[in-house]
Amino acid sequence: MAPFEFSALEIVLLGRSPHGDAARCIEMALDAMRWTECDHLALRTVNTLSGGELQRVHLARVLVQVGLKDNGSSRCVMLDEPISNLDPAHQHVALRISRRIAVEGAAVLIILHDLNLAAQYSDRLVLMKSGRIAASGTPAEVMREDLIGEVFGVRAQVAVNPVCGAPAVFVEAPD
Query: CA geometry: angle at 148 spanning 145 and 150, to 5°?
Result: 105
Cα 53 to Cα 26: distance, rounded to the nearest angstrom: 19
Query: pLDDT-based confidence at 3, cuts 50/70/90?
Result: low
Cα 37 to Cα 39: distance, rounded to the nearest angstrom: 6
Cα 47 to Cα 72: distance, rounded to the nearest angstrom: 36
Q: What is the pLDDT of residues 26-40, one digit of tens each?
A: 999 999 999 999 999
Cα 38 to Cα 41: distance, rounded to the nearest angstrom: 5
User: What's this model's pTM, rounded to 2 decimal places?
Assistant: 0.86
Q: What is the pLDDT of residues 102-112, one digit of tens each?
A: 988 889 999 99
